[in-house]
Amino acid sequence: MATLTQFRPGEIWPDDHGVHINAHGGGILVHQGIFYWFGEHKVEGKLGNSAQVGVHVYSSRDLYNWRDEGIALRVEDSPDSDITRGCVLERPKVIYNARTSKFVMWFHLELKGRGYSASRSGVAISDHVTGPYQFIRSLRPNAGILPMNEASRSVDPLNEAESARMASKRWSEGRSDFPVDLIFRRDFPGGQMARDMTLFVDDDSTAYHVFASEENATLNIAELSEDYTTHTGRYFRVFPREFNEAPALFKHSGRYYMFSSDCTGWAPNPGRVAVADSIWGPWTHLGNPCRGEPEQTATTFESQSTHVLPIPGPVPGQLGKFIYMGDRWRPDNAIDGRYIWLPIEWENDAPVIRWHDHWDMRVLA
C-alpha cells in the first residue's frame, strides 16, 4: 500500500490491506502515542444497519495510515445474549482507566428485533487496547435517580390519562409540546433511555457518558464511576425538547464544547455546537459550526458528528487543535459509509469547520 499523506473527506479510505476502513460512528483513543480508531463494523446492504460482526479497531501513528487490528468486540451467537448477532450496536467509544489498567468500551445498544425501543447502553472491558473486549452488561442509566439540576422534579408514576396519551404515540408528532416530563417519569424506575452517545474524560480523570435520552429530545450528561463501568448517579439534563443527537465533547482553554446534530435518522442535517464553563452547564448555543455554501451548512458537509479528536500535546486540548470526525451514512449499503474529517478552526472562541477536498496536518499547525 502506498503511504497516505492527506485526508480526503468522503472518499474511500484504504487501510493497510487496501480495504475501505470499516469503523462507523467511531471514536479515537490515544494510548501510548498511538491512535486507536474504534467504530461500527458494517456489512453490505441494509443488513449492515444492524450488528453482524461487532466493533472494529484500527491503529495509526499519523492519522492518515491505519492498520487493521481486527474485531475488538464481537457480537455473540447465543440468542440470549444482549449483543446477539442482529442487535443494533452503535457509536462505540473506548477510554482507558489508569486505576484498573482496563480499557472500557461503551456503546448504544438496541436489542435484536425491537427496533430502537430498548434504548440501552452496553459496556465491555479489556486488558488490551485492541481487545478482545468482554461484554459485561447493558442497562438504562440512572434508574430511580433524579438529575442534579432538577432534584425536586416530579417522579410520580403516570396516571391513567397520561399512560393512555403515551400509549397512543400521538405525542410523537410535535416538538414544542413534546412530553419530555411524561417520558422522564415513565422511565424513572427502570432508567432513562440512552441512544446516540459519546464518552469524555476530563483532566482530573473523571469520565462522563453523554447520551440522547427521552426519545432523543434531551441530552443527559452522566458521571461514570471510578472504574468507568457504571454510573455514579450524578447527571444533568441538557437542552430538553431540543432533539440533539450525535454528541461529541471536547475541552479547550478550560471550557467544554459539544458538537451535536438534529434528529433526522441517517439523513444529514445542520450541525450544532454549544459551550459551557462547567460540564454541568449552563450550556450555551453557538449555532451551526459549518462555514460554506448553504447546502454544505444545511447538511454539515453531508455528515453527522461522531467525535472530536484533540491533537495530543503536553496537556489534552491545550494545543487548541482538533479534528471534527463525522459520518456520511449510506444506509442502503452500510459498509460504504464515508468519513468526513475536517480541521477545526476558531472564530471568536467558537469552533467552526470548512470543507477541504483534501488536507493534511499542516492546516492545523
Shortest separation between residue 200's beta carbon and ligand GAL, angstroms: 17
Query: Is 328 an interacting residue with respect to ligand GAL (CB under 6 A)?
Result: no
Identify the CA nearest to 36 among candidates 9, 10, 69. 69
Picking from 25, 165, 131, 22, the residue whose alpha carbon sits closest to that of residue 88 is 25
Residues from 17 through 76 that contact ligand GAL (CB under 6 A)? 25
Q: Is residue 220 near ligand GAL by the rule CB under 6 A?
A: no
Total number of residues binding ligand GAL (CB under 6 A)? 10
Is residue 196 near ligand GAL by the rule CB under 6 A?
yes
Distance between CA atoms of residues 325 and 248, nearest Å? 9
- Residue 111 CA to residue 88 CA, distance in Å, equals 7
CB 185 within 8 A of CB 154: yes
Choose between 110 and 187: whose C-beta lies nearer to ligand GAL: 110
Choosing from 75, 245, 248, 342, the residue that interacts with ligand GAL (CB under 6 A) is 245
What are the grid coordinates assigned to 312, written together?
Answer: 495530543
Does the footprint of ligand GAL cover residue 304 (CB under 6 A)? yes
> Could you give the string, one character per residue 82-121, with x where binding to ligand GAL holds by CB under 6 A and - elsewhere?
--------xx------------------------------
Smallest distance from ligand GAL to CB 156, Å: 31
**What is the SS3 assignment for 105?**
strand
Closest to ligand GAL by CB, 265 or 292: 265
- For ligand GAL, the closer CB: 64 or 266: 266
CA distance 66 to 309: 16
Cβ-contact 339, 21 below 8 angstroms: yes
C-alpha cell at 349: 472562541
Helix, strand or coil, per DSSP, at residue 363: helix
Site string for ligand GAL, 145-174 (x = CB under 6 A): ------------------------------
CA 341 to chain centre: 15
CB of 49 to ligand GAL, least distance (A): 7
Closest approach of ligand GAL to the CB of residue 110, in Å = 8
CA gap 154, 25 in Å, rounded: 35
Of 223 and 245, which has the nearer Cβ to ligand GAL? Answer: 245
CA 93 to chain centre: 7
Contact map string, positions 257 to 296, toward ligand GAL, x by CB under 6 A: ------x-xx------------------------------
d(CA 112, CA 90): 13
* Three cell numbers, residue 165: 396519551
Interface residues toward ligand GAL, by CB under 6 A: 25, 90-91, 196, 245-246, 263, 265-266, 304
